[in-house]
Structure formats: C-alpha cells, structure tokens
Chains A and B, each alone.
Chain A
Amino acid sequence: MSTAANVPRASDLPPTGLRRFAAWLHAHPKAQVRLLLAGPVGWMLIAYIGSLFVLLLGAFWDKDSFTGQVKPFVWSLDAFESIVTNEVYRTVALRTIGIAAAVTVTDALLAFPIAYYMARVASPRTRGILVVAILMPLWAAYLVKVYAWRAILQGGGVLEWVLSPFNIEAPGLGQLMNSWIVLSYLWLPYMILPIYAGLERIPESLLEASADLGARNGTTFRRVVLPIVFPALVAGSIFTFSLTLGDYITPDLVSDAKFIGNVIYDNSSLGDLPLAAAFSLVPIVIMIAYLLVARRLGAFESL
C-alpha cells in the first residue's frame, strides 16, 4: 500500500494532454465504459459474430450440382430444403440432443458426490490434492483420451479382456452407448469444478441456522443446499451439453452413429458448405435457447 508521499498529486502536476484526457474521462463515465469495452466487444463482434454472419450467409447460396462449387450471392434455399425434407437430419439432431442430455445427467450424478466430499468433508490438504487430481486429466490431450477409450472398448480390447472370464462379449466399437460413456468421461471435470465452487460458497452459518431451526441433515440438504447449488449445476451443464452437441471426433472414433457435429463437419469437408452452414443453425439456436434459460437460472454467476 503506497503512502501519501509516493502518490503524485494530480493538482501538483502540469496539465499535460494525457492528464487532461484522464480528467475528462473521469467526468464522463459513459465514455470510459465505451473505451474499455471497445477492445473486447469490438473483437467479439468483428471476429466472432462477423464470421458467424459470413458462415450463415453462405447457407443461402447455391452450389453447382456437378462440381460442387459454391456460387456466392446466387441465392437458393436448397440447403434448407434438404434439411427439412430429409428425415436423416431430424434423426441426427434428436440423437445428439438425447445423448447430450444423458451425458449432462450422468455427469451431474457422478460429479455431485465428489464435489460434495471436497467441499464439506475433506480436509484442506485433501481438498487441494483432489482439485489437482481432477484438473490433471484435462491436460492429457483430448485425442489421446479418446484413443485410450478406443483401446478399451474395441473388440480385443481391455473391456473384452475383463469380461472374458464371465463369457460376455464386449459390444465393441460402433455402439451409440460408447459415445455416451466417453463423452461423460471427457466432460466430467467441467461439471465437478463449478459444483464444488458452488458448494464451497455456502456459508456455514446458513446450514447452522437450518439445523437450529430443527431440520435434519436430509431436509437441510434438500431445502437449503440444493437450491443454492442449483445455478452451479446449470453452469456445469452448459459445458457438458454444448461440448456434446458439437463434438464430432468422439462419435467418429468410438461409434458409428452420426451426431450434429459429424453432419456439419462431413458436409464442410466434402464440399457442401451451404448444407453445413444451414445445419449449423440447429446447434446455434439450441445453445442460445439453453444459454438464455441458464442465465435466467443464475448460472452465469457460477461459471
């Protein structure tokens, strides 16, 4: 903390241009806000929203039916027509949403006990170790983790070896269930940490008050803890849901079922950019709706 002697007094210094500007800023808070936000918001609007706009514009463009080349500014609703008429896109969208929901619920159920243990039962030292233990898998590259699961789930892999004494055959690669397992695995830390942070924030006094009023542990948990930690749960669910909604690498590697991400990626890499762009609207709309609901539920403060 600096003493009065070190800090230059504004009134003692000559009125340079910079100082005048700073003074003017001080008197005009709105300008301060604009200046501060110009960088970050400008970046987001130009680099991000701008590029989304360019992408979605391309969804309305026509493409040559033989060569597959996009004809910019030649308008056509072909891509949207395909999506609406061909049943497969509906199947893929529903399948992805279903798995995303399943993954979110699974992760919430798996994350809660360990988060609770860390927040309320573990000693501070154990807590520190556990946080490190949960963050570490995030550092093992995503691809490597998926390939490790491939090795476990494939025919001739670890799972089959474990099941062989019981004479059960492993389902092998190609099962939709595999995607559910691996995706739940991958995003689990992203669910544990917000819940842990949320539980940690509950003041002890609140729980004591509840006990003083005569509530037993179960009731306190149900009526005090859960409502308080719910926004954190929703915050964690934003990650698990959105990451599943857009993933294409995991479904590609461990199952044969196509997800929304696969359709978008496949079409973009096979040259049908308008279709990829048009189908991108599906996860965008879903996620924006999800985010609006999540914000309502207070999740943004618990991210």
Chain B
Amino acid sequence: MTESFWTRVGLRVATGFVLAFLYLPLIILVIYAFNSSRLQAWPPAGFTLHWFAEAAGNTSLREAILNSVLAGLGATAIALVLGTLAALAIHRFSFFGRETITFLFVLPIALPGVVTGIALRTTFQTAGVDFGLMTIIVGHATFCVVIAYNNVIARMRRLPRTPEEASADLGADSWTTFRRITLPSIGTALLSGGLLAFALSFDEIIVTLFTAGPGTETVPMWILGAIRRPRELPVVNVVAFVLILISTIPVYLAQRISAGSGGGRY
C-alpha cells in the first residue's frame, strides 16, 4: 500500500517533533558546556572554552575512561563468546528447555538494575571477592550476553544451512566448519552486537555502582562524582558533548554494516 499524501505529511511532522524532543536536552547540555558560569541558571551567563581545557587535563577522567574501555572490552568479549555458544546450541538443536534458556538470558536486562546490583554486591561480599575491574566486568557481561545472543541468533535464522552442510559433506570437521563458514557469515552480527554491548557497558551506572570498589571508577561513576562537585559540573557537560560526537563513528559504522548485510537489525 502507498500511504496517502496527508499521511506522509503527518508522519514527517511527527518525526520532526520526536527528533526535536530527543535532541532538546542534548542541545541544552551542549550550550551549558560553553557556559561561563558554574551555576546552571538560565539563560547562560556567557561563553567560554575553559571547560574543554579543564576536561583535557583531568587525570581522574583519563583513568575513568581507561577503566570504562577495559571493562567494556572485557564484558563484550565474554558476552560475545557466551552469546554465540548459546545461539549455536539453540538454533541448531531442539531440546527440552530451549525457551527457558532464552528467558534466562533476558532476565538480567529485564529485572531492575538495582536488584541485580545489590544481589551481585551481596554475593561478592559473602564470597570474600575483592571489588575492582573484574567484578565490574562480571556484572556487565551478565546483562550483555542477551544482546550478543539476540544479534547472532537473528542472523543465524536468516542464513541458509546449505554452506555448512556442504562443508561437512566435503569432510570438514565441526571446528573447521565453524571457523571458516559459520564465523565469517555471522561476523557482522557479532560486530553490531558487540558494539551495542560495548555501548551498554560504557553507559551503565546502576549495577556498576554496586560492583565497583572504592578505588575503581568508570566514566559514568566519574560523571556522578563530578556532577556532585559543583565546580566540575560544566566539565561533565563537555565530556557528554565529546562522547556524543565520538559515538557518531561507531554508530554510523554499525548501521552501514548491518544495513549492508541485508538486515535492519541494530
């Protein structure tokens, strides 16, 4: 069906409105990134680039970025491995309990972060585990698994089984088939799933607050700390602004990749 002219006009207007809604607070925060006064009164007092310089020189911020990147990479790696293993099992075989397992993977992302956080924290304390980067990674990986799993299994469902069967017919063992046939064909799903998992881990605050120790800080934790120090508030706006700018690259790449391989999967 083709939508009527007026429907299309209406849709365009609605889209514009929603986009404006999505970007309004971001524009405000960009304006505040240049605000010369520390107090967040409106309208802003003046214009300055001072906060950008301060952000660049901030050592605790750099440490936080390093921690966030390491945690993100670790969590994404674990999530991709576990998610792919699960996708392979569930896609290929039918057995009792398939649906329950999918349910299990969705739970960490569906149950409130505060509950996951407290549960993990209590367990780590009980087991006497030292809090730090590892505990953060464990927390993040747990809810990132479903992202990797979803992306991989969605791709697998769209792929024909014939190349794999042909490979087996030609005498390749399971590992070779996996390495040379399956893996490349789900490669882009892994990439887009990995990017999304990394983004989720990078921005996560609630579970992280519970699983980091007193000495480790990720970027969201740094932001929480800085936002509570009124002298640092404008620097936080700068950090957010830069994050948005930098993120255009991976987001755009992910979009091109997934669009290119015949799926609109984000």
Contacts and interface: CB of A to CB of B under 8 A. Distances in A.
Say whether A associates with B. yes
Given A47-B138, A151-B28, A152-B25, A11 B171 contact: yes
Interface stretch (A74-82, A83-91, A128-136): A128-136
B54 interface: no
Interface in A133-183: 133-145, 147-152, 156-158, 160-161
A140 B243 contact: yes
A290 B103 CA distance: 12
A128 B3 contact: no
B240 A144 contact: yes
B266 A144 contact: no
Contacts of A280: 112, 114-115, 118-119
Contact of B114 (A30, A51, A265): A265
Contact of B206 (A23, A54, A200, A249): A249
A226 interface: no
Contacts, number: 297
A226 B34 CA distance: 45
B49 interface: no
Contacts of B266: 131, 135, 193, 197
A90 B249 CA distance: 46
A47 B240 contact: no
B19 interface: yes
Nearest to B115: A280
Interface residues of B, number: 102
Most chain B CB atoms below 10 A, which of A44, A200, A288: A44
A140 to B, nearest CB: 5
A109 B258 CA distance: 27
Contacts of B18: 110-111, 113-114, 188, 192
B167 interface: yes
Nearest to B29: A148
Contacts of A7: 167, 170-172, 176, 180
A295 B236 contact: no
A108 interface: no
B81 interface: yes
A152 B25 CA distance: 8
B111 interface: yes
B255 interface: yes
Nearest to A283: B112
Given A200-B264, A246-B114, A47 B106 contact: no
A236 interface: no
Interface in B1-31: 1-4, 7-8, 10-12, 14-15, 18-19, 21-26, 28-29
A131 B233 CA distance: 30
A26 B103 contact: no
A210 interface: yes
B107 interface: yes
B175 A22 contact: yes
A270 interface: no
A58 interface: yes
A220 interface: yes
A54 B205 contact: no
B159 interface: no
Given A128-B259, A185-B21, A139 B106 contact: no
Interface string B75-102: 0000001110110110001010001011
Interface in A46-92: 47-52, 54-55, 58
A293 interface: no
A49 B167 CA distance: 39
Contacts of A208: 1
B160 to A, nearest CB: 13
Interface of A: 1-2, 4, 7-12, 19, 22-23, 25-26, 29-30, 32-33, 36-37, 39-41, 43-45, 47-52, 54-55, 58, 110-111, 113-114, 116-118, 120-121, 124, 128, 130-145, 147-152, 156-158, 160-161, 185, 188-189, 192-193, 196-197, 200-201, 207-208, 210-211, 217, 220-221, 238, 242, 245-249, 260-261, 264-265, 268, 273, 276-277, 280, 283-284, 287-288, 290-291, 295, 300, 303
12 contacts: A55-B118, A113-B10, A131-B264, A137-B26, A141-B220, A145-B25, A156-B41, A193-B266, A201-B264, A208-B1, A242-B109, A273-B122
For the complex of A and B, 8 pairs with smallest distance between CB atoms: A246-B112, A139-B247, A113-B14, A148-B25, A9-B171, A51-B123, A144-B240, A36-B89
